[in-house]
Amino acid sequence: MDFLRPAGWEEALAAKAEHPTAVPIAGGTDVMVELNFDHRRPEYLLDLNRVTELHEWEVGEENVRLGASVPYSRIIDHLRTELPGLALAGHTVGSPQIRNRGSVGGNLGAASPAGDSHPALLSAGTEVEVESVRGTRFIPVEEFFTGVKRNALAADELIKTVHIKKATGPQQFSKVGTRNAMVIAVCAFGIALHPETRTVRTGIGSAAPTPLRATAAEEFLSAALTDGGFWESGKTITPSIARQFAELASGACNPIDDVRGSARYRRHAVGIMARRTLGWTWDAYRTGGLGTRTTEGGAPCA
């Protein structure tokens, strides 16, 4: 195995073009596990740690431009106001040591259905900026996941920046695992209220071959909230709306039975998480002053 160590981004793109089978590695929290388990034996590892811009982020007018290698611990410490859902998701990633190394770029590269950041990215609204020597593409995150551990990257492309919409309303993230820390998701759910567009977006993890949005649930809820004047009145959401939202979220799942959990449980748990996280975000929205920039959904980052 050859270890390629480009000194900068252009060099990295050139290396990837020359060696399309090269596996990019930054924090290594996923790649090293794959290597140790003998799941893959790449000819080349492409070390991105010297590409400094990948470790940087920039808060823009509407988006956060998050370098692919920015570790979760930075997101938790510095971006919890702009990206509250992702910060909550980041908290559930591995241990402190893993959070110091693991990054959203790595999560997207691995494209595991159980990747913790995916539901938060889906619910916030995200575009993935990928680049090769041929040029740059912006891929909506919904289209980025193409199958179990498969993504839309071409062989010569690398993930450069993740453009995530800044929160304009409360966001939440919940994940079920069978222990209280350091656990791979049995299933996960993310939700983001977008008061400025009167919409709600969601993300489901580990309950289908790819992370996905519960589109029918989103459409139902957005319509119900708008039709009922909830955004303006800040009324409590009626139980029947919450229940139907939960059922639709549950129905969006296409899970499997595996060693971590049964398909039935995953469907059930996604419904519960959808109902609860909706309650938390909506409470934060209506108690935080309608339309003001309250993005915390009521769960402090411990």
- Write out the residues near other proteins by the rule CB under 8 A: 33, 36-38, 88, 91-92, 172-184, 186, 259-262, 264-265, 267-269, 272-273, 276, 279-280, 283-284, 287, 298-300, 302
Cβ 133 to other proteins shortest distance, Å: 32
Cβ 135 to other proteins shortest distance, Å: 37
Specify the residue, 165 or 267, whose C-beta has the smaller distance to other proteins.
267
Residue 155: CB atoms within 10 A of its CB come to 11
Cβ 88 to other proteins shortest distance, Å: 6
Cβ 149 to other proteins shortest distance, Å: 15
Kindly write down the DSSP assignment for every residue of 239-283, as one continuous string: HHHHHHHHHHHHHT-----BTTB-HHHHHHHHHHHHHHHHHHHHH
- Alpha-carbon distance 291 to 302, whole Å? 26
Specify the residue, 6 or 102, whose C-beta has the smaller distance to other proteins.
102
Cβ 105 to other proteins shortest distance, Å: 21
Identify any residues that bridge with 190 across adjacent strands, giving them in sequence order.
173, 203
Q: Report the amino acid identity of residue 194.
A: H
Burial (CB count <10 Å: 0-12, 13-18, 19+), residue 198: middle
Sheet holding 187-194, edge to edge: 171-176, 187-194, 199-205
Specify the residue, 132 or 294, whose C-beta has the smaller distance to other proteins.
294
Specify the residue, 228 or 251, whose C-beta has the smaller distance to other proteins.
251
Cβ 96 to other proteins shortest distance, Å: 11
Specify the residue, 129 or 283, whose C-beta has the smaller distance to other proteins.
283
281 close to 167: Cβ distance less than 8 angstroms:
no
The count of C-alpha atoms lying within 13 angstroms of the C-alpha of 96, restricted to the half-sphere facing its C-beta, is 2
Q: What angle (nearest 5°) sits at the alpha carbon of residue 121, between those of residues 203 and 23?
A: 115
Q: Report the amino acid identity of residue 166.
A: K
Specify the residue, 158 or 207, whose C-beta has the smaller distance to other proteins.
207
Phi, psi angle pair for 118, to nearest 5°: -60, -50
- Alpha-carbon distance 122 to 154, whole Å? 21
Cβ 199 to other proteins shortest distance, Å: 23
Specify the residue, 279 or 291, whose C-beta has the smaller distance to other proteins.
279
